[in-house]
Amino acid sequence: MCGAAAGEPHPYDSSRRTRLHIGHFIDKSMGGKDEPGNLRAICSVCNEGASNLTLNRPDTIKLLAQIRRAPIKDQLDVLKWLVTKFPIQVTEIIKNK
C-alpha cells in the first residue's frame, strides 16, 4: 500500500525498518480466501492499519502529476529513492541517451 520494501526505512514511520507481512487483497472478514491470488506482501505498518481498507493505486498520469506538483526537495527525494531502488535500470537509461 505504501510501496516500502523490506528493510527500507518506513515512509510513515522512519524510526523503524520495514517488515513485510502477508495480507489479503479482500479481507477474510469480507469473504476473502487464503488463496495465492488474494495474498500480497504488505508492510507491517500498513497491515496493522489496514482493517479492511483497500486503497487504489494511482495510475501513472496521476502519480506523475502529484510528483510534478510537489516541491523540488520532495521531487529530488523521489528521484533518490528511484535511483536506489532501480540502480541497474537507471544505469541502462543513462547509457542509452
Domain spans in the chain, listed from the N-terminal domain onward: 1-55, 60-95
Cβ atoms 2, 14 nearer than 8 A: no
Residue with C-alpha cell 507481512?
21
| Alpha-carbon span 97 to 93, nearest angstrom | 7
| Residue-wise pLDDT tens digits, 48-79 | 765 555 556 678 898 899 999 999 999 999 99
Q: How far apart are CA 80 and CA 74, in angstroms?
A: 10
- CA pair distance 66, 48, nearest whole angstrom: 26
Band (pLDDT 50/70/90 cuts) for residue 29 is: confident
CA dist., res. 95 & res. 89, Å (int): 10
How would residue 30 be classed by pLDDT, with cut points 50, 70 and 90?
Answer: confident
- For residue 17, the model assigns a pLDDT of 86
